[in-house]
Amino acid sequence: MIWEALGSAVLGLVVAFLTARWLPRRRLPALPLVLGTGAVAGLLGTFLAHAVLGSGHAPVTLLVAAGFTVAMLSLLVRPDRRLRRSAAA
């Protein structure tokens, strides 16, 4: 369980760092917030998967942690500032 938690925290940090490098800075908040969200989301995903699946499913648990991290980081992306006019207006 400890190795799963440590691995998921590192996985969350890596996913968050790659997300911060991939998306422009104007679309994400500050880097410490992104990295912290990645690590915490990885841990929460691991604990959720471990509670549902039980022990002995480390690869699936890490996969769920990665998916949970991506989902939580997607909530941090800011929308574009430009106003879009609808066709009905």
Orientation of helix 31-53 relative to helix 58-74, angle to 10°? 140
Residue 62 contacts residue 7 (beta carbons within 8 Å): yes
Residue 23 CB burial class (10 angstroms; 0-12, 13-18, ≥19) = middle
The token pair that represents 9 in the structure block: 């925290």
CB neighbourhood size of 60 (10 A) = 13
pTM for this prediction: 0.82
Domain range annotation of the chain: 2-74
Average pLDDT over residues 32-37: 94
pLDDT tens readout for residues 15-33: 999 999 988 777 888 999 9
